[in-house]
Amino acid sequence: MQGTSILNIQARDGDMGDPRNVLLTIEDDTLGYFSLVRHAHSPGSAISVADLVTSNKSIDREHPDILQNGGIYAFSIKVSIYLQ
């Protein structure tokens, strides 16, 4: 089902003295099965929140890319800290 939230992700800069804003991005989702829906947060907040949601594509475990990887579809969520 498209847009089904399967995971809520929260990240923050660990610097307690001068925390910086962070950005969550999805990487290596080459077949486009997922996306991140970011939540609005207050300006100056060092916490970033997003939901990992499904796309309109059903996961095809017989897709050649998945079969080549032993039946596993792997991707990652990256957290970047803004250095201003």
Q: What is the pTM assigned to this prediction? A: 0.81
Tell me the per-residue pLDDT of 29-65, one tens digit each, with 9 for 90 and over. Answer: 999 999 999 887 766 667 889 999 999 899 998 999 9
Within 8 A by CB and 6+ apart from 5, the residues are: 37, 51, 52, 53
Tell me the per-residue pLDDT of 1-36, one tens digit each, with 9 for 90 and over. Answer: 568 999 999 998 888 788 888 889 999 999 999 999
pLDDT of residue 27: 97
pLDDT of residue 10: 93
Beta bridge partner(s), residue 26: 77
Rounded Cα gap, residues 68 and 64, in angstroms: 6
pLDDT of residue 51: 95
CA dist 32 to 8, 12, 36, 39, 43, Å?
18, 26, 11, 20, 30
Q: Tokens 């991140």 sit at which residue?
A: 36
